[in-house]
């Protein structure tokens, strides 16, 4: 049974990836906005922002830019899932001897692959702009692991949106709040520079702990309790989003 699920998921993931390879503008579009933001902050606004540290501004804000990259990319997952639902693909798959869960997992794994490529492109541009890191190999693995968890958590939220949306615009619009969430965090300025209520929200939302953890890993500094807070948020969101997505999917195909 497990082999059957894995093989079906592999075939359907290959189908989804081929669609992206035929239309690489999806990945390019996902990377363009974060790169534009990075250029804006580094060359226009960075000189006027005090981070309270000796880090260059591109080093300081790259973790937030990477999260924005992923938040932008997962909108396409909801979009592709919505189109499959509207196109009757799911009904055709139900008449075939394939594992039902493999349909959703194919979209999730495609999202993971596409977003990691976008993150790699943005990171490459950051190096060109002057990003430097003393992170060890283990620290890089930790950063990648956190970004993978972040992508999976947001992708399962995208699955819920794709299954629930009534229009194409509605399928992708859910990602807008997720894209803007890093702006109300420690991603671009220290939270202690914000007004009281805004600072409280910024300090207690998931993006701040994730950004602070990645920033510390890149700088080769101790991560402290931030990494456990970040992991708690990511695993919690992932579990809840996955459960809700499965419930919604079963209702949709029943």
How much is the average pLDDT of 118-133?
92
Beta-carbon-side half-sphere exposure of residue 142 (alpha carbons within 13 Å): 21
Q: Using the predicted structure, report yes or no on whether residue 246 has a pLDDT greater than 80.
A: yes
User: Which is more confident, 73 or 102?
Assistant: 73
Q: What's the mean pLDDT in 165-184? A: 79
- Supply the mean pLDDT for the chain: 82
Read off the pTM: 0.88
What average pLDDT does the segment 131-140 reach? 91
Kindly report, residue by residue over 106-118, the tens digit of the pLDDT: 888 888 988 998 9
Highest mean pLDDT among 39-43, 180-184, 215-219: 215-219
Residue 153 pLDDT > 90, yes or no?
yes
What's the pLDDT score for residue 33?
Answer: 84
More confident residue, 241 or 1: 241
- Share above pLDDT 70 across residues of the chain, in percent, rounded to a whole number: 78
The mean pLDDT of 146-164, rounded to a whole number, is 91
Distance CA 207, CA 217 (A): 15
Residue 119 clears pLDDT 90, i.e. is over it = yes
């Amino acid at each position: 049974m497990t082999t059957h699920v894995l093989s079906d998921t592999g075939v359907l993931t290959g189908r989804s990836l081929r669609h992206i390879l035929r239309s690489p503008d999806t990945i390019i579009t996902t990377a363009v906005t974060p790169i534009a933001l990075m250029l804006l902050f580094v060359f226009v606004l960075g000189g006027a922002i005090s981070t309270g540290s000796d880090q260059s501004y591109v080093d300081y804000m790259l973790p937030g830019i990477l999260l924005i990259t992923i938040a932008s990319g997962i909108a396409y997952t909801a979009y592709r899932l919505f189109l499959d639902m509207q196109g009757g693909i799911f009904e055709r798959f139900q008449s075939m001897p394939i594992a039902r869960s493999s349909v959703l997992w194919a979209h999730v794994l495609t999202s993971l692959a596409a977003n990691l490529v976008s993150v790699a492109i943005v990171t490459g541009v950051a190096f060109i702009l002057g990003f430097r890191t003393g992170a060890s190999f283990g620290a890089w693995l930790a950063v990648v692991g956190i970004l993978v968890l972040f992508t999976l958590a947001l992708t399962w939220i995208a699955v819920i949106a794709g299954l629930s949306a009534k229009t194409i615009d509605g399928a992708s619009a859910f990602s807008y709040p997720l894209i803007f969430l890093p702006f109300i965090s420690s991603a671009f300025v220290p939270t202690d520079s914000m007004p009281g209520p805004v600072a409280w929200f910024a300090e207690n939302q998931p993006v701040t702990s994730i950004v602070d953890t990645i920033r510390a890993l890149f700088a080769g500094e101790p991560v402290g309790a931030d990494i456990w807070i970040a992991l708690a948020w990511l695993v919690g969101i992932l579990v809840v989003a996955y459960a809700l997505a499965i419930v919604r999917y079963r209702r949709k195909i029943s």
